[in-house]
Structure 1
């Protein structure tokens, strides 16, 4: 069980921590220092590097989470409400990420390749809003997952 919990925590830290850094540190600096063409190219490359880690985090979170639920606790009916809530919010986060990855992120890369900075800016803005939602959900999941058993 310690391996599963460790993998679960590492995956959550990578995903949520990456969003926290990108949204609250990188975004304001990039917006202040870079003109739209460079800013859009920067974000396209940042997402190119970060999103494979999110995919890996999703696989680890699902694998380790279900391993803990079923192999350790014996199923969904044996875990507390906080685990159900953590799973639900995690699945919502994954759905939002899938949308980001297959829709605005793909279109952002296409706009950057065409040097269509207006379209790219619109897609980046859409991604920004969705990542803000996912960041809030991720922080809630962390609170529920770590403190929910005590509520």
Structure 2
């Protein structure tokens, strides 16, 4: 694993950072740009349909990013020998944060799918109720956790 990292460290770090940017940046865009622009749509059915489509497209970018983030993190953890240093606490903190974020993402994914099924069946109230916690709680929590993980990552790179 160390040889892999030594030979491709720039690419591995680039993919790790890019994946974090896509995940966290995507959530920021969805929450603070797309969400607010969607409020201008008055027809509930169109608004719900657009929201579901936006989330579907977002997921198609984020799911590969989460996988790449995990793989590159494992490579770096194993290759850089953090376990024997006092920096390991930052590694553990990042692992915990990314795990929580992934669990929240899975909840978001499930709620979006339930909302899509309700929408497809013409049950717009249920669809709206499934989506409500995403913008209100789940995505903002993941944004905050993601930014903390970025700070921890910068701390690890700085030492």
On whether the aligned pair clears a TM of 0.5, the verdict is yes
- Please report the RMSD computed on the Cα atoms of aligned residues, expressed in angstroms: 1.8
Question: Quick check: 1:90–1:141 contact (8 Å CA) kept in 2?
Answer: yes
Relative distance call for 1:75 and 1:39 in structure 2 (3 A) is same
The equivalent residue for 2:119 is: 112
* Corresponding residue pairs, total: 149
Which whole-Å CA distance do the structure 2 matches of 1:149 and 1:5 have between them? 10
Q: Which residue of the partner structure matches residue 61 of structure 1?
A: 69
Unaligned runs of 5+ in 2: 1-8
Confirm or deny that 1:123 pairs with 2:118.
no
- Answer with 1 or 2: which has the greater Rg: 2
State whether structure 2 residue 20 is matched by structure 1 residue 12.
Answer: yes
* Shift in alpha-carbon separation, 1:45–1:87, aligned structure 2, 3 A: same
Scaled by the length of structure 2, what TM-score is found? 0.85
Where in structure 1 do 4 or more consecutive aligned residues deviate above 2 Å? 32-35, 74-79, 147-151
Aligned residue in 1 for 2:109: 101
Structure 2 CA distance for aligned equivalents of residues 17 and 34 of structure 1 = 27
**Residues 34/76 of structure 1: CA separation in 2 closer, same or farther (3 Å cut):** farther
The alpha-carbon deviation at position 76 of structure 1 amounts to: 3.3
2:51 to 15, 38, 43: 43
CA distance in 2, matches of 1:145, 1:75: 13
2:80 to 73, 76, 92: 73
Q: How far off is 1:15 after superposition?
A: 0.5
Using structure 1 for the length normalisation, give the TM-score. Answer: 0.89
1:2-56: CA deviation from partner (whole Å, max 9, x where unpaired): 1111000000000100000010011011013343211110111111111122110
